[in-house]
């Protein structure tokens, strides 16, 4: 059983894969350039997620408007770790923040936001542990695009195949096709900052 809050990802010694869903125009341009370029905007927050299943749930398995294309963006671990070290939780946590006012001040100034959402199964069921999503603000997106990104792969065909298998009830077969994800090492300072060391199940979520 995974820890309640832990980062699970496809990674190697130097890079980690995060997933994003876009429309055709953004996806096609990104694949051609092998980085995010216009019509992708650097002027609004963008969210990256290392959990493929969570992105599938968020995008309606690549069926929601402007989320029909699924991209795997391989970025440097140095960039990912920098983002986590600068991140502030999207909600006040008394085990992490001195006070609600202190959290609010940190959140307003943060270049990176982090929130934990229930991980999903191939059925779409909420699981009993969390998956991280990371919001990059305008002040750091350019680094993500120009310095961190190493390659971009189109996983839209995989998403389409998984949709067919899910509809047919072939969840075991679908699971075999999922990208491999394992626990990503996080130092204790970052883990504390992100509420990973004190997090516990909330029966209401």
Q: What is the pLDDT of residue 107?
A: 86
Task: Give pLDDT, residue 39.
Answer: 98
Going residue by residue through the chain (205 aa), what tens digit of pLDDT does each one get?
788 999 999 999 999 999 999 999 999 999 999 999 999 999 999 999 999 999 999 999 999 999 999 999 999 999 999 999 999 999 888 788 888 998 988 888 999 999 999 999 999 999 999 999 999 999 999 999 999 999 999 999 999 999 999 999 999 999 999 999 999 999 999 999 899 976 565 544 4
- How many other CB atoms sit within 10 Å of the CB of residue 8? 21
Position 38 in a domain? yes
Alpha helices in the chain, H assignment, sequence order: 24-33, 52-58, 77-85, 100-109, 138-143, 156-167, 171-177, 188-193
Q: Is residue 17 part of a domain?
A: yes
Identify whether 1 is part of a domain: no
Q: What is the pTM of this model?
A: 0.93
**Structural domain count of the chain:** 1
Residue 118 domain boundaries: 8-193
Flag whether 3 is in a domain: no
Q: What is the edge-to-edge ordering of all strands in the sheet holding 149-154?
A: 15-22, 69-76, 149-154
In a domain, 107, yes or no: yes
* Residue 108 domain-assigned (yes or no): yes
CB atoms inside a 10 Å sphere around CB 110: 18
Residue 204 domain flag = no
What confidence score (pLDDT) does residue 205 get? 43
- d(CA 40, CA 27) in angstroms, rounded, equals 9
Pairing of strands 8-9, 182-183: antiparallel
Q: Is residue 205 part of a domain?
A: no
């Amino acid at each position: 059983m995974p820890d309640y809050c832990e980062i699970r990802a496809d990674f190697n010694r130097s890079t980690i894969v995060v997933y994003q869903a876009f429309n055709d125009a953004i996806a096609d341009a990104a694949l051609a350039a092998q980085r995010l370029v216009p019509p992708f905007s650097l002027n609004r927050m963008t969210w990256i997620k290392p959990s493929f299943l969570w992105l599938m749930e968020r995008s309606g398995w690549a069926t929601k408007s402007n989320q029909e294309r699924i991209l795997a963006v391989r970025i440097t671990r140095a960039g990912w770790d920098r983002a986590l070290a600068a991140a502030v939780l999207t909600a006040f946590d008394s085990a992490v923040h001195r006070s609600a006012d202190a959290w609010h001040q940190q959140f307003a100034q943060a270049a990176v936001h982090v929130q934990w959402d229930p991980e999903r199964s191939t059925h779409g069921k909420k699981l009993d542990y969390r998956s991280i999503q990371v919001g990059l603000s305008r002040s750091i997106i350019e680094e993500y695009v120009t310095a961190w990104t190493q390659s971009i792969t189109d996983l839209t065909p995989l998403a389409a195949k998984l949709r067919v298998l899910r509809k047919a009830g072939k969840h075991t077969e679908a699971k075999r096709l999922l990208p491999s994800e394992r626990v990503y090492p996080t130092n204790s300072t970052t883990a504390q900052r992100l509420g990973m060391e004190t997090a516990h199940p909330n029966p209401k979520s």
